[in-house]
Homo-oligomer: A and B are copies of this chain.
Amino acid sequence: MSIPIGIVGFRGFSGVEAIGILSRHPEFEPVLLEHRQDAGADLKLIRKSGPRRIAATADAACAAGVQAVLLATPPDVSIDVTPSFLEAGIKVVDLSGAFRLRTAATYKHWYKEEHTAAQLFDEAVYGLPEYNREQIRGARLVSNPGCYPTAANLALRPLIAANIIDRSAGIVCDAKSGVSGAGRKPSAKTSFCEVTENFSAYSILKHRHVPEVLMTSGLEESEFSFTAQLIPIDRGILETIYFRLADKSMTAADVLAIYQQQYADEPFVRLYETPGVPDLHAVAHTNFCDIGVVVDTGTGRCVVVSVIDNLGKGAAGQAIQNLNLMMGFPETQGLL
């Protein structure tokens, strides 16, 4: 007997990805929660079968036996619907930025709008299992991390904690993302002819994912220079991270040893023997985060490459990893 899991925003890229993972999951089955009418009609398959569709209300979800919902929605929608699901006893994994930050003021600073469910900040658990596993297990509301911060924090936090980075020189995170990261709504920026044979930077030093990196890694904004850039591909995030080692005699093996200790038992973090670094094909359609390290010993310059699938570990994959934890199933269930 599969457990019904609701999806709000099931037509978006993360929603579609979640449907796919849940459909193959041995314990769960997806239920589509219709929140807004989609303009375009679907192509009709003869003998079509597929997930149930019901209204995106707590009542309808309860009636359908839904035990948890994934919100693959913009922040304002997540803020709008989360309270009623929680009140109905339905667990929530929110994929938007609505509950990632810690205060309404920070939210307003980065998202440019008032937060109308600030009372939930305290119980929202930031869903990065590699660091918050136990809190996630007991949570009603998990805020799924942003795609860029997931790749950045898994790469940076162990090194910040080990205190090996010369923070006075700053850290550069040059991030590149596939176009699905921009969502499904048609726009001039994401039209085929604009993106193909192109590469462009946006939100330089001002991306709203920056505070998530600061929050988890412990860095100050002045120490962290972040640029987001659009690759002409569908999916994948690669971050090239530059910093200087406090001890210029350290080797890549020394840096990798810190990662190995931190991630020895992590099922979804993989490391590369130096000077190997991962590319995007390594993680496409998976929930892995792959990390490689290059060091120029003597000058102390270090480059870390961290890659994820922005719809996998960067969105739907990590959401279901969180869901597995919240529902008491093995963390890797349906994800390997």
Contact partners of A172 in chain B: CB under 8 A: 172, 174, 242
CB of A258 closer than 8 Å to a CB of B: no
Report whether A198 and B232 are in contact in the complex, using a CB–CB cutoff of 8 Å.
no
8 Å CB interface, A276-317 against B: 276-282, 284-285, 290, 294, 296, 299, 301, 303, 305
Query: Does B47 contact A284, Cβ atoms closer than 8 Å?
Result: no
A330 at the interface (CB under 8 A from B): no
CB contact list, A160-195 vs B, under 8 A = 168-170, 172, 174, 176, 178-180, 184, 186-188, 190-195
9 contacts between A and B (CB under 8 A): A40-B188, A44-B276, A46-B271, A174-B174, A176-B229, A178-B197, A192-B232, A199-B236, A204-B275
State how many angstroms separate the Cβ of A264 from the closest Cβ of chain B. Answer: 8
Query: Cβ of A260 and Cβ of B46 under 8 Å apart?
Result: yes
Among candidates B191, B244, B277, residue contacting A201 with C-beta atoms closer than 8 Å: B277
Asked if A13 CB lies within 8 Å of chain B CBs, one says: yes
Q: Is A55 an interface position by the 8 A CB rule?
A: no
User: Does chain B have a CB within 8 A of A233?
Assistant: yes
A280 to B225, CA, bound (A): 22
Q: How many interface residues does chain A have, given as a range?
A: 35 or more
Q: A133 on the interface (CB 8 Å rule)?
A: no
Rounded to whole Å, the gap between the CB of A237 and the closest CB of chain B is 9
CA distance A187 to B185 in the complex (A): 9
Is the CB of A43 closer than 8 A to any CB of chain B?
A: yes
- For residues 37 through 86 of chain A, which have their beta carbon under 8 Å from a beta carbon of chain B? 40, 43-47
Which residues of the other chain, B, contact A273 by a CB distance below 8 angstroms?
43-46
- Selected from B169, B187, B271, B336, the residue in CB contact (under 8 A) with A186 is B187
Q: Is A2 part of the binding interface, using a Cβ–Cβ cutoff of 8 Å?
A: no
Alpha-carbon separation in the docked complex, A301 to B242 (Å): 14
Which of A188, A196, A231 has the most CB atoms of chain B within a 10 A radius of its CB?
Answer: A196
Q: State whether the Cβ of A221 lies closer than 8 Å to any Cβ in chain B.
A: yes
- Within 8 Å by CB of A184, from B46, B47, B191, B271, lies B191
Inside 8 A of A187's CB, which chain B residues have their CB? 186, 191
Looking at the complex, which one of B204, B244, B260 makes contact with A294 (CB distance below 8 Å)? B204
A315 to chain B, nearest CB (A): 14
Expressed in whole angstroms, the Cα–Cα distance for A13 and B260 within the complex equals 31
A101 within 8 A of B: no
Q: Are A193 and B170 in contact (CB under 8 A)?
A: no
Q: Please, which residues of chain B bring their CB within 8 A of the CB of A184?
A: 188, 191, 193
CB contacts (< 8 Å) of A197 on chain B: these are: 178, 196-197, 233-236, 280-281, 284
The interface residues of chain B lying within 8 Å CB-to-CB of A179 are 192-193, 196
The chain B residue sitting closest to A186, CB to CB, is: B186
